[in-house]
Amino acid sequence: MPTTPGLPTDNHKLEARRVIGQALGFSDCPANVLDELVAAGQLKRLVPGEQLSQRGDRTEHVGLVVTGLLEASALRVDGHRHFVGLVVPGDFCGVFSFIDELPHPHNMMAREPTVLLMIANHTLQRLRAQHPSVVLACERHLARRLHFLFERLYADPGLPLESRVASMLVMVGRLYGQKVGPHIELDFKLSQTDLADWLGLSRQRMNFALKQLESERLIRLHYSILTITDPAGLAARAETC
């Protein structure tokens, strides 16, 4: 029987097994545990702009991004977007709500065609009870999210504009970048609006800061593709008060 266009296939299950085997923390889990997680999970496909969940929702699944890209954000009461971050292949979404059983703290939306492996909470709870390695894997995911939040707090309004932006870009490069020679590149688009909403700045101020960092040959932006051309120099710039 031919495959229906746009639907996840068995190949996505194979990819899910590969991705979870390399995911933070889960790469240390026994192979049979990962096999069981993937076998029990259900594939879900999102088209660009489609929401996986909304702030305040309660769901019964944790999602592993297999392919694609999710945006975590929330709308303020004034209508402005609060950009929380990105969820890339190998990352899980819904872990906070899985642990504390509270509603989702933000909206999750696909920025490009995305396939997720949705694992029922009761399955993950059972495996956590049976395998300490699964507990440690969840803890490592939570620890990375908290570290990310603390880094954002460090880039507070008390620092000079360029230092705030440099600090954010250092973190973005560390989380999502690929090392290409002496540079760090992102393989997805990150617009100036994304970066501005990430730090709560206007797009005009973000544009000014990016041009300044680019003039110092610390970064390069080309069609929303970010390259950190001087990682050490950018890190030093982030510490400039």
For residue 116, the model assigns a pLDDT of 97
118: which strand partners?
42, 63
Distance between CA atoms of residues 172 and 139, nearest Å: 21
Residue-wise pLDDT tens digits, 15-54: 999 999 999 899 999 999 999 999 999 999 999 999 999 9
What pLDDT sits at residue 1?
37
Average pLDDT for residues 58-70, to the nearest whole number? 93
Q: What domains sit in the chain, N to C, each tagged with a CATH number?
A: 10-154 (2.60.120.10), 161-238 (1.10.10.10)
Question: What is the per-residue pLDDT for 81?
Answer: 84
Q: How high is the pLDDT of residue 195?
A: 87
Least confident of 1-10, 76-85, 168-177, 198-207: 1-10
pLDDT at 155: 65
Which pLDDT does position 6 carry in this prediction?
Answer: 55
List Cβ neighbours of 34 (8 Å cut-off, separation of 6 or more).
Answer: 17, 20, 21, 26
**Which amino acid would we find at residue 169?**
L
| Residues, the chain | 241
pLDDT of residue 200: 82
- What single DSSP character describes residue 51? E
What DSSP character marks residue 63?
A: E
Share of the chain above pLDDT 90, in %: 53
Q: Is the pLDDT of residue 3 over 60?
A: no
Distance CA 10, CA 56 (A): 32
pLDDT tens string 84-139 = 888 999 999 998 888 888 898 889 999 999 999 999 999 999 999 999 999 999 99
For residue 59, the number of C-alpha atoms closer than 13 Å in the C-beta half-sphere is: 22
> How do residues 198-217 score in pLDDT, each as one tens digit?
888 889 999 999 999 999 99
Q: Starting at the earlier edge strand, list the strands of the sheet with 92-93.
A: 42-46, 114-120, 61-67, 92-93
Query: Measured between alpha carbons, how far is 90 from 24 in angstroms, rounded to an integer?
Result: 7
Question: Which pTM does this prediction carry?
Answer: 0.83
218 token code pair: 């610390």
Quick one: pLDDT at residue 4?
43
